[in-house]
Amino acid sequence: MIGEKALKGFFKRNGLLLAFAFFLAVTALNAPAFLTVGNILDVLRQVSIVGTIAIGVTFVVITGRFDLSVGSGLTLLTVIVVDQNNIVGPLGAIIMAIFGGLMVGVWNGLLIGYLKFNALIVTLAMLSLLQGLTLWYSGGANVNVHNAQTTWYAFFGRGDLFGVPVPVWILLVGGAIASFALMKTRFGRSVFSVGGNETTSKFSGINAPKIVLFAYIISGFATACAAIIMGSRVMGAQSTIGQGYELNVLAGIILGGTSLLGGSGSIWRTIVGVAMLGFIQNALLLMGFPYYIQWLVTWVVIILAVWIDLAAKRGKILT
């Protein structure tokens, strides 16, 4: 009897993880290729791009806001980093991509933090702007890295370090740094405070607009990092390469259990959420479902995650 309550609490907190473990087991039985080291590393490499962006967007979501511009940000920055590889070389291209990412963050952050514009609208408009800039820059043409086989730029997307793909290292190391910043520093505490209650933060002398601005700058920086990985992996880009990423990022964050209302969440939860989504999509492909099923399943998974989150708050599964 004593254990029952604790057990219930455990299920409530970790219900999603348990369901996921069950899913992994079922898939492994049906698709033998699923739980092989090769496939697992493949999935991790795949989610590293979504995951790297999601780390940045998690800061924004904890302040109680959104960033829908990361998908088209990824497109523009990947096109730039790939194309500039041929013009100014890899180092210059990387610097330009990072600068571009920071600029996107600054603009979003100024409009949303200081001018108090609605985050949904501002980042949706930014999505359109970045898509337009991409087409203007590339003229709609595909771009490629000419010396793809010889450049050191290949390290970020195609390299291995101690048997683990470099993009996965970037995700994990970036995640660790971001997690430290969020959980242990003054800035991280302020992020939670602004998302938890902006008025109280103001009454406590916290500069909420500045915190929001920095959250968006981190989001932009993370997008630039993801673009560098993406460009390096594909060694090419076209104007739809980042399409739909904003949705996958958001789905991963929600799946990890970070509340969209702000004030709570963590980087590790986000990475777990993104990985879960990646494994589910991978499993569906391995089991022979057509590609479009991924989109349908993303819907199911988001609704399920939000439902479980709500149910945990209300204390029961069905109201």
Partner 1 sequence: MSEVKNVLSLHGISKFFPGVKALDNVSFDIRPGEVHALVGENGAGKSTLMKILAGLYNPDQGNIIHQDKHVKIRNPLEARTRGILLIHQELSLSPELSVAENIYLGAWPTNFFGVLKKRKLNKDSLIALSAMGCDFGPKVRVGSLSIAKRQMVEIARAQAFNANVVIFDEPTASLTDTEKEQLFNTIRELKARDVGIVYISHKMDEIFEIADRITVLRDGTVQGTVHTKDTNINLITKMMIGRELNTFFTRANSEIGSEVLRVEKLCRKGEFENVSFSIKSGEVLGLYGLIGAGRSEVAETIFGVRKADSGKIAWMEKEINFPTPRQAIDMGLCLAPESRKEQGLVLNMSGKNNVTLPHLVKYSNYTVMDWRRELATFEKYREVLDIKTTGADQEVVQLSGGNQQKFVLAKWLCNEPDLLILDEPTRGIDVGSKSAIHALIAGLAEQGLAVIVISSEMPEVLGVSHRILTMSEGRLNGEFSGMEMTESNLINAVSQHLEQTA
Interface ranges with partner 1 (CB under 8 A): 184-187, 189-190, 192-193, 196-197, 199-207, 263-264
CB of 313 to partner 1, least distance (A): 11
Amino acid at 16: L
H/E segment holding residue 224: helix 208-234
CA distance 199 to 64: 13
CB of 180 to partner 1, least distance (A): 8
- Identify which of 200, 314, 62 has the alpha carbon closest to the alpha carbon of residue 306: 314
Nearer to partner 1, 14 or 185 (CB): 185
CB of 9 to partner 1, least distance (A): 15
CA distance 78 to 96: 11
CB of 198 to partner 1, least distance (A): 9
CB of 160 to partner 1, least distance (A): 33
Strand partners, 160: 165
CB of 183 to partner 1, least distance (A): 9
CA distance 24 to 122: 39
CB of 175 to partner 1, least distance (A): 18
**Residue holding tokens 């070389």?**
89
Q: Which residues, 6 or more positions from 293, have their beta carbon under 8 angstroms from its beta carbon?
A: 284
Nearer to partner 1, 23 or 187 (CB): 187
CA distance 21 to 107: 41
CA distance 172 to 97: 21
CA distance 212 to 191: 8
CA distance 171 to 183: 18
Q: Which residues, 6 or more positions from 87, have their beta carbon under 8 angstroms from its beta carbon?
A: 93
Residue 133: both structure tokens together: 């800039």
Nearer to partner 1, 72 or 258 (CB): 258
Nearer to partner 1, 130 or 218 (CB): 218
Nearer to partner 1, 51 or 263 (CB): 263
Sign of the C-alpha dihedral, residues 260, 262, 266, 271?
A: positive
Nearer to partner 1, 99 or 114 (CB): 114
Nearer to partner 1, 158 or 189 (CB): 189
CB of 36 to partner 1, least distance (A): 41
Nearer to partner 1, 238 or 264 (CB): 264
CB of 66 to partner 1, least distance (A): 19
Residues in the chain: 319
Nearer to partner 1, 43 or 212 (CB): 212
Whether 249 and 57 have beta carbons less than 8 Å apart is answered as: yes
